[in-house]
Amino acid sequence: MTITLANKRPNTETLKAFENDLNKIREEVMAKVGEKDARYIRRVIRVQRVSEIMGRISLVLGFYHALFWIAGVALLALSKILDNMEIGHNVMHGQYDWMNDPHINSRNFDWDIWGDGESWKRYHNHEHHTYTNIIGKDRDYGYGLLRLSDDIAWRPKNRFQFITYTLLSSFFQFGIAYHEVAGERIFAGKRKETSTLPITREELKHSFFSKINRQVFKEYLFFPLLAALISWPLFFAVLAGNMIAEFIRNWWTSSVIFCGHFTENAQTFDQAECENESRGEWYYRQILGSSNFEGSRIFHILTGHLSCQIEHHLYPDVPAYHYVDMAKQVKNVCKKYDIPYNTGSFLQQYITVVKRIVKYSFPNKQKQEIRVS
Please state the length of the chain. 373
- What integer pLDDT is reported at residue 189 of this predicted model? 67
Task: Give the span between the Cα atoms of 255 and 89, in whole angstroms.
Answer: 15
Task: Give the span between the Cα atoms of 224 and 218, in whole angstroms.
Answer: 9
Q: What single DSSP character describes residue 219?
A: I
Q: Which of 287, 279, 278 has its CA nearest to residue 326?
A: 287
- Averaged pLDDT, groups of 10, the chain, 373 residues long: 58 94 97 96 98 97 94 98 97 96 94 92 88 89 91 92 96 90 76 74 90 96 96 95 98 97 92 86 95 96 98 97 97 96 96 96 64 36
CA 123, 124, 129, 133: dihedral to nearest 10 degrees?
A: 80
- What integer pLDDT is reported at residue 34 of this predicted model? 95
Q: Could you report the per-residue pLDDT of 295-320, keeping only the tens digit for each?
A: 999 999 999 999 999 999 999 999 99
- What integer pLDDT is reported at residue 335 of this predicted model? 96
- Residue pair 59/237 in contact by the 8 Å Cβ criterion: yes
CA count, 13 A, side-chain hemisphere, 11: 1
| Amino acid type, 343 | T
- What integer pLDDT is reported at residue 369 of this predicted model? 39
Sign of the torsion angle spanned by Cα atoms 154, 159, 160, 164: positive
Rg of the chain (C-alpha set): 22
CA 129 to chain centre: 11
